[in-house]
Structure 1
């Protein structure tokens, strides 16, 4: 680059100042002398010499410029050639390095193969038996034994529980024969039949540790009542006061989705410490949007069922029955609700009661699908009006005997309300039908064809036949009882083929 700069400077360094000065002087002399006057010979000769000198200088400068341009082109070509030579040298060096790495890899592979081959030869010679050695004798038949260095195989472990390791446990009851701990119990029936009244009776009896129908004493504990149909302040609270409940052991709850909010029940159980009963009314309203798909319903019920079993808390669900006036045995919602419950009870009017007023007529609590107790259980009760000391009018349930010889406890403390007589103990009554007449009646009913057990119980009550006598007559006749493969469905009774 420095040579190129020098060449450019030399080309444009020719001094043309003398020639310019002579031309200026020549022009001024011509102007002074005027036209037609010739210059002296010496001046013309000087001008001519100056012109020739300038022309010679210009030619020399041009020649010098051409020489420097040629030299610059030669320099550029030399640089290009030097660059190409250096590039070729680098390429050859990299190619030589790759060839060396490839040769090294080939040598390594060849060496490894040779080592493996030699090792195989050594191993073969080491394990090949000598021709002079004694032959190896096989072990005796049936006498095979692992080498001492091989540990014995561990026995397989089953993921299931052996029946021998499970200890049988007796079922615990909150309400003996009706509501079991850790199970779901459904109370169904037509509206205004007192289903919620029975649930409140259970909560009140549990809270004060009083006697159940039949005389058994309740183990005192707390209850949670989640009521979505009746008003808590105007209906539930007065009924509990009429039943003599211990309000310090009862809590009220609101809307819940127990398929996702089971933790709220767990938090309340930990807070009170002795929770033994949870009442949900209506039952199907606590498991999210309504669904008739059995798989979906069972998935939503699973958290409550698991929580109840682990906590040993009884769950009572109040529900309605389908059919006109609640005459059917199917409960509201999917049948999965009923199948998941360990016990299902239905409330019906007692057709044998001569009371004309339906509000005062006796009710019967009949088992329609019980898996944790005998399905011949039956309770009878009435709903009676009560006026609280505060002047609030409310109602409560009062149980009555349904069979001869069955004891019934006095359910309410004597002197609970001033000016009101205590609830008298019902007088035992004799059986209206003998076993023979009950068997004749049942034979005539089944002669028309198979019938549901619930319908027979209602009809037997209308005929004055107790549930216990009805089952005794059925066993005497050899009546076949089946539920068509579904243990939760109502059983169908039919006479044996030989009858």
Structure 2
């Protein structure tokens, strides 16, 4: 009875509160949506597991890894409905809008897009704002409504690239609240227009070995707001053929798998029909397995590990260990430690040997196998 009485008193209080709120906030109404009235929808993938319509993505990496060249390659694929690094075709074809604060379209971005066989009629650059008789630079804090109107006017925008993404933050890019306030209009715009938002950023200095998401320059909010974080890296040591290996990895995903990636190379060439205009284009290589943190740690290694072993020694050790068949990663690392090889050097040797690394179920470990 006491419980029933307490509930009646509580309901009476809520009724009084509702009447008070109605009297004080006439004309203002907060809308609530009942969960049963919302129909579940699948993620709209442009590139399955890597690029999603209406979501924010971040591509980070150290200077010289070719982040902008990669972004131009992705833009080219969207503009033509071409193929992604895994061989699948883009599920969407449409317009691409680019806001760049670091590279000139004429001598840098257009040549890279042309080298990637982009449909240049579907590529647009955010230039300037004209207000009355004055011209000024685009300011996301003031001009997001104008951008939304222009995207709607163009129609069919599938990809919005912001390079660098920190240029969208008017305040301190190291403060979470200011980063969220600066990026939220862009995030909302991408959701409304159903286009993928790709922001490009650098790694902070002295962050080697840390989680790749934590290595992004500025506040952790950049990685937190992004639904997918992609990273690019370059091996610090040349391979056997004198080639510098490069890695494109998935470091975070709230929408699907958050590991794996692809090898890639940057090819320099003269642009056809434009003598003296040289540019770069991405040449994609085989798929690689493993967590981004481990793959990047291996790429950061120099010629010798902490114990003074050369990479050739480590490769021979790992090849011998796997010659009898697949082994669990934990077992490999324990054996390597006993033999005097660091975990990072083993990871790097595995990349050069192209070791196949597969996750054994949701709660299982990783199984390593030499390529057939």
Q: Same fold (TM over 0.5)?
A: yes
Q: What does residue 320 of structure 1 align with?
A: 202
2:355 corresponds to 1:472? no
Q: What does residue 347 of structure 1 align with?
A: 232
Higher relative contact order (CA 8 A, sep 6+): 2
Q: What does residue 199 of structure 1 align with?
A: 71
Deviation of residue 161 (structure 1)?
2.6
Q: What does residue 131 of structure 2 align with?
A: none
Q: What does residue 41 of structure 2 align with?
A: 169
Q: In the comparison of the two structures, how many residue pairs are matched?
A: 290
Question: Runs of 5+ in structure 1 lacking a partner?
Answer: 1-155, 405-431, 480-499
Q: What does residue 246 of structure 1 align with?
A: 119
The equivalent position to 1:298 in structure 2, one of 180, 184, 188, is 180
2:207 corresponds to 1:334? no
Residue 473 and residue 159 in structure 1: after superposition, are their counterparts in 2 closer, same or farther (change >3 A)?
Answer: closer
Could you give the per-residue CA deviations for residues 29-68 of structure 1, whole angstroms, max 9, x where no partner exists? xxxxxxxxxxxxxxxxxxxxxxxxxxxxxxxxxxxxxxxx
Q: Within 2, Cα distance between the matches of 1:229 and 1:158?
A: 42
Deviation of residue 377 (structure 1)?
2.6
Q: Which protein is richer in strand relative to its size?
A: 2
The equivalent position to 1:441 in structure 2, one of 332, 341, 344, is 332
Q: Give the 3-state SS of the residue equivalent to 1:224 in structure 2.
A: strand
The equivalent position to 2:165 in structure 1, one of 263, 280, 283, is 283
- Verify the 8 A CA contact 1:435 1:473 in the aligned structure 2: no
Q: Within 2, Cα distance between the matches of 1:457 and 1:445?
A: 11
Q: Give the 3-state SS of the residue equivalent to 2:327 in structure 1.
A: helix
Q: Which protein is richer in helix relative to its size?
A: 1
Deviation of residue 362 (structure 1)?
2.2
Instruction: Give runs of aligned pairs for residues 14-163 of structure 1, distance below 5 A.
Output: 160-163=32-35
RMSD: 3.4
Q: Within 2, Cα distance between the matches of 1:289 and 1:212?
A: 36
Deviation of residue 192 (structure 1)?
0.9
Q: Give the 3-state SS of the residue equivalent to 2:77 in structure 1.
A: helix
Q: Give the 3-state SS of the residue equivalent to 2:112 in structure 1.
A: helix
Q: Give the 3-state SS of the residue equivalent to 1:261 in structure 2.
A: helix
Tell me the TM-score normalized by structure 1.
Answer: 0.52
- Verify the 8 A CA contact 1:438 1:465 in the aligned structure 2: no
Residue 308 and residue 202 in structure 1: after superposition, are their counterparts in 2 closer, same or farther (change >3 A)?
Answer: same
Q: Within 2, Cα distance between the matches of 1:278 and 1:268?
A: 13
Deviation of residue 349 (structure 1)?
2.2
- Verify the 8 A CA contact 2:63 2:202 in the aligned structure 1: yes
Residue 300 and residue 325 in structure 1: after superposition, are their counterparts in 2 closer, same or farther (change >3 A)?
Answer: closer
Deviation of residue 402 (structure 1)?
2.5
2:158 corresponds to 1:268? no
Q: What does residue 304 of structure 2 align with?
A: none
Q: Give the 3-state SS of the residue equivalent to 2:201 in structure 1.
A: strand
Q: What does residue 278 of structure 2 align with?
A: 393
Question: Runs of 5+ in structure 2 lacking a partner?
Answer: 1-18, 20-28, 128-136, 290-318, 368-372
- Verify the 8 A CA contact 1:184 1:342 in the aligned structure 2: yes
Deviation of residue 213 (structure 1)?
1.8
Q: Within 2, Cα distance between the matches of 1:459 and 1:256?
A: 47
